[in-house]
Structure 1
Amino acid sequence: MVKGQAVAGVALPSLPDDLRRQEAHAPVVEGEPVIAILARERQALDRANARQGRTVQFYDDITTRYALPKRTN
């Protein structure tokens, strides 16, 4: 058992590898129309936003399963 498990009392799932990946900018090719570069950059942004959404869902799933009930005062 590792320290994190001992403190938490549960074994948390590993973060999927895809959620750790960084999205590269679209390559700029000399002489290529700017609109084509912009289109590729937008596709990269869409991939990054989708990955962020999966990260949030992963975190929400963990907190739903393992979070302690909130205390009310």
Structure 2
Amino acid sequence: MRPHLQRLVRAIRSNWPNTRILIRADSHYCSPPVIDWCRANAVDFILGVAPTTTLRKRSRSWKQCAGAF
């Protein structure tokens, strides 16, 4: 993913250098190298996170609170 992002961001910034870039991707693109690259290159990101047993346990109380509204 990172090499694709590098080429894409380079192409965008060569034409529009002051444009703010936001990447949105599914969970299979969510990795520390991608996140680190985005942060180092001033690229905002929204990346999905695949559900795991641990994530489900930790988010259970948040889901219950959200359901109250």
- Report if TM-score (shorter chain) is over 0.5: no
Q: If the length of structure 1 is used for normalisation, what is the TM-score?
A: 0.27
Q: If the length of structure 2 is used for normalisation, what is the TM-score?
A: 0.28
Larger Rg: 1
